[in-house]
Structure 1
Amino acid sequence: MTCRLCKRDCQLKNSHIIPEFLYRSLYDEKHRFYRISVEESEKSTFIQKGVREYLLCGDCEQRLSKYERYASTVLQGGVELTVSRDGNLIHIEGIDYVKFKLFSLSILWRSSISSLDIFKQVSLGPHEEKLRKMILAEDAGRDCEYPFIMSPITHEGALQKDLIIQPTKTKLEGHVVYRFTFGGIFWVFVVSGHRIPSVVVSASISTNGKLTMLPREITEMKYISNMATELARKGKV
């Protein structure tokens, strides 16, 4: 079969779409987590591994694994960073721009090429091939290309790590955006061939390794509260 990244014909691995380390806080004592579907026809079930699909060859899986290992040290500790606060804003410096951005974009890209229902709203069109070439060439692009905003999700001051939500598509000032929730963070990827507002670019990771985040209280996030209401309506929770 053909690897979706390098395009070689070879044996494929059962690859994670969202890296395994981001599921750790969801597992119970039997290494299971409870998957709740918003689809009425699907039952909620226990799953022992994160969502996977045969997409990549072994070499390409290793290629992405190095970005995942680095990102885990940024998100969960293990790499020296400079963190400062300005009111509600959190400023982080010292991030490896290429590794962290390619980690982030690889999740967006993998979600787009996946055939799994959970990722059905992620469809990048011509941007899918552009991202494939960037990832393969280890090219993170300019900071104004495919910027993303990260907002830690909190409740009464505590980071809410035990939450992964089906990604959704919406619009932001005329640009297509994809919203993900994992690792205790709300991620907003802006996918556009047009000039992206400077306020979005300035909040995204910059080529000099700086990142600005604005924590959000989970009870004030309509995106999540509306989904919880829908799950309750369907008797899922």
Structure 2
Amino acid sequence: MSKCALCGEERELEKSHIIPKFVFRSMKKNSPTGNMRMASQPNRVIQDGDKQAMLCGVCEDRFSQNETIFANKVYHPYHSDNLQVVEYGLWLNYFITSVSWRSLYLDIIGFVSEQNIDIKELDTLIEAEQIMREFLLGKRIDLGHIENHIFFFGPIKEVAGDTSEFELHTAIGGSVVGYTYISHDFDSSYVFLNLQGILIVTILKKAVEEVWKNTLVGENGTFNMEKPNHSVSSPVFNELFALANDLKESRQKISESQKEKIVEGIKKNPERFLKSKAYQRLKDDERIRKN
């Protein structure tokens, strides 16, 4: 029996996925080799995403219904290229908040433990965590100053400057991450989530000149994927290049034996590889390099 991180009740805790299980299940299923690897540990095959004993069964159930709706209405259609129009209600705000809150809660513990955060920045995170927790528990009807945004990453048509060293399509479309990001230069903070190209950002403290067009998640609304018309200017989107750099460094660390295993996995079913999203992302990155 331990205290639940969300409701605070003394109950038996369950192993909770920080990023929902359906993401990793789909990622593994659609991998051209049937395996998953972390950029930080490229020589180790993993079977699942991070899980922590932090929620009781009651609070796990609070999240499950909206996770299912998001998976069926957004995640799976996006990754099967069938996402056209997303009509959403409160479920989308709740889903995003639930995933962002889990990352933020654990990151606060980490920041405090390592004592590597400014006290004012920590206060901002703690205040945001409380607001999000109360919203998830139904103790408040809105998130106050906190904003949830969603951005659907698609093939890049052109880029400014020399980005030839970065494989953005592979890095963004092939990774799953969630963490708290603090921009010291712009005095702003966020929870940044990437679900294989579905970019989700919870703004905890907004930068003065940030621009987010057609990405804000309200109580209800519509995202038209046939005419997405996204426009974003934010410090947090520098993390896209951080993901690409992580991929670059990961490839430098992978052993020859692991490279051989990957090649062998592809050779067993080359047709699967040629039809995979991973191969399409490689082609998109090659197209950008040639341009």
TM-score, with length taken from structure 2: 0.59
Call closer, same or farther: CA 1:32–1:58 in 2, change over 3 Å.
Answer: farther
User: What letter matches 2:91 in structure 1?
Assistant: K
Which residue of structure 2 aligns with residue 135 of structure 1?
Answer: 136
1:224 matches 2:243: yes
5+ unaligned residues in a row in structure 1: which ranges? 84-91
- CA distance, structure 1, for counterparts of residue 140 and residue 68 of structure 2: 18
Deviation at 1:230, TM superposition (A): 3.2
- CA distance, structure 1, for counterparts of residue 83 and residue 247 of structure 2: 36
Deviates more, 1:56-65 or 1:202-211: 202-211
Which residues in structure 2 correspond to 1:108-127 (within 5 Å)?
108-114=100-106, 124-127=125-128
User: What letter matches 1:61 in structure 2?
Assistant: E
Deviation at 1:126, TM superposition (A): 1.9
Describe the superposition over 1:16-43 as per-residue Cα deviations: whole angstroms up to 9, x where unpaired.
Answer: 1100111123215997522231xxxx67
- CA distance, structure 2, for counterparts of residue 182 and residue 152 of structure 1: 10
Which residue of structure 2 aligns with residue 88 of structure 1?
Answer: none
Q: Quick check: 2:97–2:148 contact (8 Å CA) kept in 1? A: no
- Number of matched pairs: 214
User: What letter matches 1:11 in structure 2?
Assistant: E
Call closer, same or farther: CA 1:206–1:167 in 2, change over 3 Å.
Answer: same
Describe the superposition over 1:122-163 as per-residue Cα deviations: whole angstroms up to 9, x where unpaired.
Answer: 97322111111110117561686323232325478x997542
Identity %: 21
Call closer, same or farther: CA 1:166–1:144 in 2, change over 3 Å.
Answer: closer
- CA distance, structure 2, for counterparts of residue 230 and residue 145 of structure 1: 34
Which residues in structure 2 correspond to 1:61-72 (within 5 Å)?
61-72=60-71
Which residue of structure 1 aligns with residue 25 of structure 2?
Answer: 24
Which residue of structure 2 aligns with residue 106 of structure 1?
Answer: 98
- CA distance, structure 2, for counterparts of residue 138 and residue 12 of structure 1: 22
- CA distance, structure 1, for counterparts of residue 231 and residue 249 of structure 2: 24
- CA distance, structure 2, for counterparts of residue 210 and residue 222 of structure 1: 29
- CA distance, structure 2, for counterparts of residue 59 and residue 19 of structure 1: 16
Call closer, same or farther: CA 1:169–1:15 in 2, change over 3 Å.
Answer: same
Call closer, same or farther: CA 1:153–1:164 in 2, change over 3 Å.
Answer: farther
Which residue of structure 1 aligns with residue 50 of structure 2?
Answer: 51
Structure with the higher fraction of residues in strand conformation: 1
Deviation at 1:176, TM superposition (A): 1.3
Q: Quick check: 2:16–2:51 contact (8 Å CA) kept in 1? A: yes
Deviates more, 1:144-153 or 1:19-28: 144-153
User: What letter matches 2:101 in structure 1?
Assistant: W
Q: Give the one of 175, 180, 184 matched to 2:193.
A: 180
Residue aligned with 2:104, SS: helix
Q: Quick check: 2:43–2:254 contact (8 Å CA) kept in 1? A: no
Which residue of structure 2 aligns with residue 149 of structure 1?
Answer: 150
Call closer, same or farther: CA 1:197–1:162 in 2, change over 3 Å.
Answer: same
5+ unaligned residues in a row in structure 2: which ranges? 158-168, 233-239, 260-291
Residue aligned with 1:147, SS: strand
Structure with the higher fraction of residues in helix conformation: 2
User: What letter matches 1:34 in structure 2?
Assistant: R
Misfit runs of 4+, over 6 Å: 120-123, 194-198
